[in-house]
């Protein structure tokens, strides 16, 4: 057998793992999948096997050192994918594809990302239950789960004034650490913050209190003992060894194996390709199958297993076992000016005193704002009139459009302005794009990635008689309005010589500049939306794939619409809530709801001890 391969993560006498039957087999040791495995295996009577296509990089500084965030991109620990050509993005006129980095390692994309760690607003998550009929999924249940995942360390006393935080909105014993950055550059506290206040924006507060609006210094998932990345990989390190939790690396899941192909389909396990052993194929059997392979590969595995749109499947040479055409739909990515931020050009005196030294964490202050704060009164009125007079738009499910309108009129965050880097600049994101796309297989080869098409900027609407591409129009209008307001408000107004692009440009010229700079925010979610089946869902409120008995999806592909928080925190909340749902099931093999550990004890052994183990690969 392949004991050598297992040595990094296994200690048990696992002589024939392909013949062992587990309670759970999970595809992907990523952000959600590995945290789910850690929580499920708290019960020693529950056996969990995780199959991870990538390799272990937990000891590498490219992962552990927050200042080296992102450096695993373009290495063996990155899937390094590309979207299909995107005709409605600028990309220098070529309609080019977008780079889609995703972690291919223990911890998945949580080993690669920027570690910004926040939650959604109350209304945004309550809509899951009230408008989307997802019973049990609301802000209370999701923020409870988030707090179970978190150990928050408050800011240093000297920073407390600039970093408002309230311990009652955070967790104290979860496996993922949250901290605030150690310094708040004087430019932000002396210039940006007072200018925002003078321009009429909210003052900072703890954005995890159910209202995420306003400028906030966000927590980062970093372990304060030594400033190392806190992520699902370190949560796993902290609980090693558990004889009931096994992880195989270099195990690329190819498809679900079926015990019965009568509807509802009953799975018997997951087949995988051992990429470290000549691509040999094996199967792990389990009672419950969980896909946590992320937005690209969870939809792919379902389709390769015969679940999806028959047209897509047959074109790829896969027989359809279950017609579920929603598989691979509702993929989206908030567009942002990722090629270049908007800059405020400081005069010499201001630049000398701005103290833009250091580079501790890339995004220092994040301002989330509703449409009414980001558009001029005329533009807001015009867009609102269009929204109120339109019930359906092509390319978007009516339920999704209804959610968008609700978010718009209840003043939920729709635009993020991220102040960042070592210079005075800000990057706008359109948090909830109307454009949605697909992730569909175009080959039956599991090692051939599916076609990733977020379909950026593809929704055209008519505002006051003029056809506009909505997502770019809103991003460009919002950014010009915000930058103009700040640039003309004290103290910013006297400190700058101008902005880049110049806020005084005509809207058409400003639009062109912003369009040229806009691309992926790397916040892709969707592909297997949790929605009622007739509303285009792939999984139900127990994360069970419709038409199956024991196949679930637990990762960022299930979000029914785009979170306006950065997706990692919501993904951890999803993992913890999924664990609680599974533990509460009859024959779930886990803890029952009444026997559940009190929240304060959950994963207590995993708290803030990162990283513990530097075992060699
Ligand atoms: C560069 C970058 C920066 C980001 N910054 C932030 C940020 O600062 N804050 C934030 O909140 N969000 C951020 N995000 C987004 C966030 O990291 C992701 O939304 C989230 O981590 C996705 O989690 P997941 O569980 O859905 O998938 P992943 O974490 O990607 O997990 C999927 C796992 O499955 C494995 N896998 C895939 N296919 C197979 C297969 N066939 N067989 C076996 N294993 C497989 C993968 O290797 C991976 O380990 C960022 C994303 C990127 C790319
Ligand atoms: C595993 O199962 C296969 C087929 O069911 C069998 O041929 C093989 O001998 C088993 N391996 C071990 C180690 O038991
Ligand atoms: C760490 O990151 C750097 C910069 O991206 C890269 O050159 C190097 O190969 C990485 N190291 C490993 C071991 O992947
Ligand atoms: C477009 O091309 C020009 C010239 O090659 C380059 O300076 C600019 O950065 C490019 N813009 C984008 C968005 O790639
Ligand atoms: C939610 O339920 C209501 C009432 O039954 C129904 O009108 C609505 O279409 C449902 N929404 C979705 C998204 O299924
Ligand atoms: C939210 O969901 C939980 C179950 O997950 C339920 O107990 C609660 O009543 C729901 N509603 C609110 C407002 O909390
Ligand atoms: C498959 O079905 C057989 C007979 O129905 C049953 O004995 C066996 O336990 C099932 N295996 C799995 C993994 O579900
Ligand atoms: C395994 O498959 C990959 C992708 O098809 C291929 O590049 C590689 O050569 C294969 N390895 C072996 C040992 O066959
Ligand atoms: C430059 O900015 C400072 C504030 O830092 C301001 O007091 C001063 O008037 C500005 N100088 C010029 C020439 O505008
Ligand atoms: C700039 O930052 C350094 C380090 O944080 C601090 O010691 C210094 O006082 C700051 N300077 C000003 C002008 O605020
Ligand atoms: C649109 O409808 C909302 C209520 O849904 C209302 O508050 C708002 O005034 C309307 N706006 C316009 C411009 O019609
Ligand atoms: C949207 O309108 C633009 C022209 O403004 C056009 O080039 C584009 O093809 C349209 N997009 C769609 C999806 O129809
Ligand atoms: C971080 O701190 C932990 C606990 O103090 C220690 O075991 C680990 O080696 C440290 N990691 C690094 C990268 O310094």
As a whole-number percent, the residues of the chain with pLDDT over 70 amount to 89
Whether 217 contacts 368, CB under 8 Å: no
Among 498, 517, 536, identify where a domain stops: 517
Burial status of residue 349 (CB atoms within 10 A of its CB: 0-12, 13-18, 19 or more): exposed
Q: Is 253 annotated as a binding residue?
A: yes
Q: What phi and psi, each to the nearest 5 degrees, are found at residue 146?
A: -60, -45
Whether 273 contacts 280, CB under 8 Å: yes
Indicate which residue's Cα is closest to atom 8 of ligand 2.
Answer: 19
Q: Decide if 63 is inside a domain.
A: yes
Is the same domain home to 187 and 314?
no
Q: 232-236, 323-327, 347-351 — which is least confidently predicted? A: 347-351
Q: Decide if 166 is inside a domain.
A: no
Active site residue 566: yes
Whether 369 contacts 474, CB under 8 Å: no
Q: Decide if 448 is inside a domain.
A: no
Among 474, 499, 517, identify where a domain stops: 517
pLDDT at 13: 33
Model confidence at 132: pLDDT above 60: yes
Q: Decide if 175 is inside a domain.
A: no
Q: Which ligand has its closest atom nearest to the C-alpha of 68? A: 3
Is the same domain home to 245 and 360?
no
Ligand 6 pocket by Cβ (under 6 Å)? 136, 138, 140-141
pLDDT band (50, 70, 90) for residue 363 = low
Alpha-carbon distance of 324 to 527, in angstroms, equals: 12
Cα 70 to ligand 3 centre (Å):
10
The model's pLDDT over 189-233, given as tens digits with 9 standing for 90+, comes to: 888 989 999 999 988 889 999 999 999 888 999 998 888 999 999
Taking residues 561-570, what's their average pLDDT?
A: 95
Cα 108 to ligand 1 centre (Å):
5
Is the same domain home to 503 and 550?
no
Q: Which ligand has its closest atom nearest to the C-alpha of 278? A: 8
Model confidence at 18: pLDDT above 50: no
pLDDT at 93: 60
The model's pTM is 0.92
CATH number at 308 reads 3.50.50.60
> Which of 147-156, 237-246, 571-580 is most confident?
571-580
pLDDT at 201: 93
Taking residues 463-479, what's their average pLDDT?
A: 97
The model's pLDDT over 483-504, given as tens digits with 9 standing for 90+, comes to: 999 999 999 999 999 999 999 9
Q: Decide if 224 is inside a domain.
A: no
pLDDT at 11: 30
Taking residues 503-530, what's their average pLDDT?
A: 97
Beta bridge partners of 427: 418
Mutate to test the pocket of ligand 1, among 25, 26, 28, 525 (most ligand atoms within 8 A of CB): 28
The mean of the pLDDT values for the chain is 89
Is the same domain home to 528 and 486?
no
Indicate which residue's Cα is closest to atom 3 of ligand 10.
Answer: 355
Indicate which residue's Cα is closest to atom 5 of ligand 4.
Answer: 92
Is the same domain home to 574 and 507?
no
pLDDT at 218: 86
Q: 122-136, 341-355, 527-541 — which is least confidently predicted? A: 341-355
Point out the ligand 12 atom lying closest to the alpha carbon of residue 460.
1
Is the same domain home to 343 and 491?
yes
Q: Decide if 239 is inside a domain.
A: yes
Is the same domain home to 349 and 210?
yes
Is the same domain home to 539 and 554?
yes
Is the same domain home to 312 and 366?
no
Among 517, 543, 567, identify where a domain stops: 517
Is the same domain home to 290 and 319?
yes
Q: Decide if 418 is inside a domain.
A: yes
How many domains is the chain partitioned into structurally? 2
Indicate which residue's Cα is closest to atom 7 of ligand 12.
Answer: 88
Residues 6+ apart with CB under 8 A from 294: 28, 30, 31, 102, 108, 109, 555, 556, 557
Active site residue 523: yes
Is the same domain home to 276 and 204?
no
- Closest C-alpha among 569, 582, 552, 596 to residue 145: 569
CATH number at 395 reads 3.30.560.10
Q: What H or E segment, with its residue span, contains residue 296?
A: helix 294-304
pLDDT band (50, 70, 90) for residue 240 = confident
Is the same domain home to 545 and 486?
no
Model confidence at 605: pLDDT above 60: no
pLDDT at 115: 94
Q: Decide if 223 is inside a domain.
A: no
Whether 26 contacts 32, CB under 8 Å: no
Instruction: Indicate whether residue 516 lines ligand 4 (CB < 6 A).
Output: yes
Residue span of the structural domain in which 555 resides: 3-115+230-332+524-606
Model confidence at 3: pLDDT above 60: no
């Amino acid at each position: 057998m392949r004991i050598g391969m297992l040595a990094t993560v296994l200690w048990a006498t696992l002589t024939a793992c392909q013949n062992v039957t587990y309670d759970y087999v999970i595809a992907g040791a990523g952000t959600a999948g590995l945290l789910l495995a850690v929580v499920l295996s708290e019960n020693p009577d529950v056996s969990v096997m995780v199959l991870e296509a990538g390799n272990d990089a937990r000891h590498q500084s490219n992962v552990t050192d927050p200042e080296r965030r992102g450096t695993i991109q373009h290495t063996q620990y990155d899937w390094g994918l590309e979207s299909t050509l995107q005709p409605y993005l600028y990309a220098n006129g070529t309609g080019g594809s977008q780079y889609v980095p995703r972690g291919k390692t223990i911890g998945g994309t949580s080993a690669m990302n920027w570690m910004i760690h926040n939650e959604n607003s109350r209304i945004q998550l309550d809509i899951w239950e009230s408008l989307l009929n997802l019973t049990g999924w609301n802000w209370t249940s999701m923020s409870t789960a988030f707090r179970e995942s978190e150990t928050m360390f408050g800011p240093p006393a000297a920073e407390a004034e600039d970093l408002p935080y309230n311990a009652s909105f955070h967790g104290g014993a979860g496996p993922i650490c949250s901290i605030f950055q150690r310094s708040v550059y004087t430019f932000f506290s002396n210039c940006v913050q007072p200018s925002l206040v003078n321009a009429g924006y909210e003052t900072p507060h703890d954005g995890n209190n159910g209202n995420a609006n306003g400028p906030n210094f966000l927590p980062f998932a970093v372990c304060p003992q030594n400033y190392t990345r806190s992520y699902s990989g370190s949560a796993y390190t902290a609980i090693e060894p558990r004889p009931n939790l096994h992880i195989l690396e270099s195990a690329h899941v190819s498809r679900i194996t079926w015990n019965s192909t009568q509807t509802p389909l009953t799975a018997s396990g997951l087949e995988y390709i051992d990429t470290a052993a000549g691509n040999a194929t094996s199967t792990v059997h389990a009672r419950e199958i969980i896909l946590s392979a992320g937005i690209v590969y969870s939809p792919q595995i379902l389709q390769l297993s015969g679940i999806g749109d028959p047209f897509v499947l047959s074109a790829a040479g896969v027989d359809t076992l279950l017609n579920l055409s929603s598989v691979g739909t509702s993929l989206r990515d908030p567009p942002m000016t990722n090629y270049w931020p908007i800059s405020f050009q400081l005069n010499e005196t201001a630049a000398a005193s701005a103290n833009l030294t250091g580079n501790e964490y890339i995004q220092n202050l994040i301002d989330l704002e509703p449409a009414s704060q980001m558009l001029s009164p005329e533009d807001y009125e015009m867009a609102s009139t269009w929204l109120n007079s339109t019930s359906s738009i092509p390319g978007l499910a009516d339920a999704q459009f209804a959610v968008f309108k609700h978010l718009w009129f209840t003043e939920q965050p729709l635009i993020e302005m991220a102040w960042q880097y070592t210079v005075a600049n800000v990057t706008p994101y359109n948090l909830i794009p109307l454009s949605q796309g697909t992730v569909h297989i175009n080959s039956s080869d599991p090692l051939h990635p599916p076609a990733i098409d977020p379909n950026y900027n593809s929704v055209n609407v008519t505002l006051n008689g003029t056809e506009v591409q909505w997502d770019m129009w809103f991003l460009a209008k919002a950014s010009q309005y915000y930058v103009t307001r700040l640039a003309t408000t004290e103290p910013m107004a006297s400190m700058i010589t101008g902005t880049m692009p110049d806020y005084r440009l005509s809207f058409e010229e400003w639009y062109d500049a912003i369009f040229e700079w806009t691309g992926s925010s790397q916040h892709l979610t969707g592909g297997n939306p949790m929605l009622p089946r007739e509303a285009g869902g792939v999984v139900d409120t127990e994360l069970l794939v419709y038409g199956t008995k024991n196949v679930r999806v637990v990762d960022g592909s299930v979000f029914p619409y785009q979170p306006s928080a950065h997706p990692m925190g919501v993904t951890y909340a999803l993992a913890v809530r999924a664990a609680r749902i599974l533990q509460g099931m009859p024959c779930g093999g886990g803890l029952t709801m009444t026997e559940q550990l009190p929240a304060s004890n959950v994963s207590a052994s995993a708290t803030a001890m990162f990283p513990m183990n530097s075992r060699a690969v």
